[in-house]
Amino acid sequence: MKMKRIVTILAATLLIGAGGSIKAQEEVNIGKQNIALSSDLMTPEALWAMGRISGYAASPDGQKIVYQVGYYSVKHNKSHQVLYIMNADGTGQKKLTTGSKNETDAAWLADGRIAFLTGGEVWTMNAEGGDRQQLSKTDGEVEGFKFSPDGKKVILIKSIPYNDIIKKNPDDLPKATGRLVTDLMYRHWDHYVESIQHPFVCSVGNGSAIANDASDILQSEPFECPMEPFGGIEQLDWSADSKLIAYTCRKRTGLEYSISTDSDIFLYDVESGTTRNLCKPEGYAEPKINPTKTMKYQAVNAPENLKNNVGYDQNPKFSPDGRYVAWLSMERNGYEADRQRLCCYDLQTGEKSYLTESFDSNVDDFCWSDNQKDALLYYIGVWHATENLYAVTPKGEVRQLTNDCADWGSLQLMNNGRQLLMERHSYTEPADLYVVTPNTKKPEKTAIQQVTQENKQILDRLAKPSVESRWVKTTDGGQMLYWIIQPPHFDPSKKYPTLLFCEGGPQSPVSQFWSYRWNFMIMASQGYV
């Protein structure tokens, strides 16, 4: 008889508020859970007991890492987002969040303090979690933030009412639930568009308070930034001298918005308040689009018009010296799954170049190196259904730096200038953080160090399925890669039921992702191939 194995999630949630007093017991305590496993097979209970790492950032001196973990309770149908800090080598882990409120979006300030969101406001604390101060006072309206490099200003993301498409109900009908919809696009995924996000620039006084002098970058413009449905603060960036903001926006509404993927990168001058489009030439006039026909053969996607960045452009990042802005760029309008390239714009000459033309797949995220001379960039992209790390030169020379059967996630340069802070996961491993030391001359010597083991106490008790890649000849004579995942303790002499998982794409391939919705390890653990 096998004894039940008890897995205890050690990240307990203390019921202590910002003022330090003990909260009433009606507060939901999410984090510490006892999970009974009757065998070494993955169960839904074990899956939902796992901590989920999300945002992370390295300190200005590269010595510390702050990161976010979410814990979920099926019983209470709630989650709790908490912040941790550790040394850059993974030692000295300490939980910073001591209250029952969510704390998210941690970012380091130049003075070594940590800024974060809680209750819709920006707060700061020291690296020990103490000396907490509330910087913003917006009645809980802040949804994202990014401080300027000099610490004197901050971008705050807030939602404003939007009634251009869904009209505001009459004030004398406060209980009316109907909606008067006059155009597209009136809904995204799980919500109606009755508000849109705008970025506001505010002054920071003495590093201790955010002034009430908010300036709306999109003042009087009926457009959103960040963009629906998945955009966040990564769609905006500060220049190194804190004078410019690059931001992503699709400046159209209604039917035009709903059929077009043409978003652009705009440059906002903080002092003058002026804006210019980096994707389109001044005076650009879009060719007329017939919404009843495919855009494939229309003038907007004619070869001579593609130079105007008519596709999906997003996530700008300034180079360390401020001369360049790079961003992710799709070539054609109306193609949600077009190849995502790395575009680089020279602010001195106005020239654009596409650096990853030799890489026949998407660039999913990128960051600049601190190599001012060579202007090297690092990026992640999928090839043969695994997502690995690459480097690209200004001349478009691509070098693969990792070759893992895994998916590497978003990346950022650690401020020691020599290493990258990255996330990694696979079919059998949820996300953990790694410090990567790239070697562009000898990629095989790229060093990889795992610095978190968030779910070790669960994973050590679970048997893993086997994962194997195979190729099959297709009906048109090509070759298609697919994955075979066999249950733990697989016996080749027995017959097993089979599940066939097909990607709904074509936005993304079935790469080595870990999902809490489509989890292949739990499927295989139920006895399926």
Which of 494, 505, 514, 394 shows the shortest CA–CA distance to 454?
Answer: 514
What local confidence, expressed as pLDDT, does residue 440 receive? Answer: 92
Q: Is 375 left (phi over 0), alpha (psi -120 to 50) or beta?
A: left
The separation between CA 519 and the C-alpha centre of its own chain, rounded to angstroms, equals: 20
> 503 exposed, middle or buried (CB, 10 Å; 0-12, 13-18, 19+)?
exposed
pLDDT band at 504 (very low <50, low <70, confident <90, very high): confident
Q: How confident is the model at residue 17 (pLDDT cuts 50, 70, 90)?
A: very low
Using alpha carbons, select from 110, 111, 53 the residue that is nearest to residue 86. Answer: 53
State residue 18's pLDDT score.
32
Cα separations in angstroms, 279 against 6, 99, 238, 267, 315: 56, 45, 18, 10, 13
Mean pLDDT, residues 260-276: 97
Mapped to the 3 state alphabet, what secondary structure does 439-478 carry? CCCCHHHCEEEECCCCCHHHHCCCCCCEEEEEEEECCCCC
Per-residue pLDDT band for 207 (boundaries 50, 70, 90) equals low
- The 3-state DSSP class for residue 252 equals coil
Label residue 36 by pLDDT band (50, 70, 90).
Answer: confident
Instruction: Check whether 1 has a pLDDT greater than 80.
Output: no
Q: d(Cα 162, Cα 268) in Å, to the nearest integer?
A: 23
Cβ pair 197, 156 in contact under 8 A: no
Spatial contact of 377 and 366, defined as CB atoms under 8 Å apart:
yes
What integer pLDDT is reported at residue 139 of this predicted model? 94
Local structure of 92: helix, strand or coil: coil
Residues with Cβ within 8 Å of residue 488, at least 6 apart in sequence: 40, 41, 462, 463, 464, 465, 524, 525
* 437: pLDDT strictly greater than 50: yes
Would you call 296 helix, strand, or coil by DSSP?
helix
Which range among 62-66, 101-105, 306-310, 370-374 shows the weakest confidence by mean pLDDT?
370-374
User: 189-206, pLDDT tens digit by residue?
Assistant: 899 999 999 999 999 986
CA distances from 401 to 101, 280, 282, 389 (A): 40, 34, 39, 5
pLDDT at 20 over 90: no
- Peptide bond just before 506 cis, omega within 30 deg: yes
| Statement: residue 300 has pLDDT above 90 | yes
Bigger pLDDT: 417 vs 76: 76
| Mean pLDDT of the 484-494 span | 97
SS3 of 72, please?
Answer: strand
Q: Residue 496: pLDDT above 80?
A: yes
In whole angstroms, what is the distance from residue 164 CA to residue 167 CA? 6
The answer on pLDDT for 154 being more than 70 is yes
Long-range CB contacts (< 8 A, 24+ apart) of 246-249? 246/278, 246/316, 246/317, 246/318, 246/325, 246/327, 247/199, 247/217, 247/316, 248/313, 248/314, 248/315, 248/316, 248/327, 249/218, 249/223, 249/224, 249/225
When pLDDT is cut at 50, 70 and 90, the band that residue 241 belongs to is: very high
Looking at residue 8, its pLDDT comes to 31
Q: In the predicted model, what is the mean pLDDT of residues 442-448?
A: 95
- CA dist 70 and 52 (Å) reads 5
By CB atoms closer than 10 A (0-12, 13-18, 19+), residue 195 is middle
Give just the sign of the alpha carbon dihedral 120, 423, 100, 78.
positive
Q: What is the pLDDT at residue 12?
A: 32
Q: Where are the alpha helices (DSSP H) in 170-296?
A: 254-259
Q: What is the pLDDT of residues 378-432, one digit of tens each?
A: 999 999 999 999 999 999 999 999 999 999 999 999 977 889 999 999 999 999 9
pLDDT at 23 (0 to 100): 36
* SS3 category, 111: coil
DSSP β-ladder status, 195-205 and 215-216: antiparallel
pLDDT tens per residue, range 368-384: 998 767 779 999 999 99
**pLDDT score, position 209:** 78
**pLDDT tens figures, 328-362:** 999 999 999 999 999 999 999 999 999 999 999 99
pLDDT at residue 378, rounded to an integer: 97
Q: Chain-wide mean pLDDT for the chain?
A: 91
pLDDT in tens, 99-150: 999 999 999 999 999 999 999 999 999 999 999 999 999 999 999 999 999 9
Look at residue 208 in the predicted model and tell me its pLDDT: 65
Burial status of residue 336 (CB atoms within 10 A of its CB: 0-12, 13-18, 19 or more): exposed
3 state SS of 255: helix
Torsion of CA 314, 319, 324, 327, to 10 degrees: -10
Q: Is 257 a residue whose pLDDT tops 50?
A: yes
CA distance 17 to 437: 39
Model confidence at 30, in pLDDT bands (50, 70, 90)?
confident
> Which run of H or E residues covers position 196?
strand 195-205
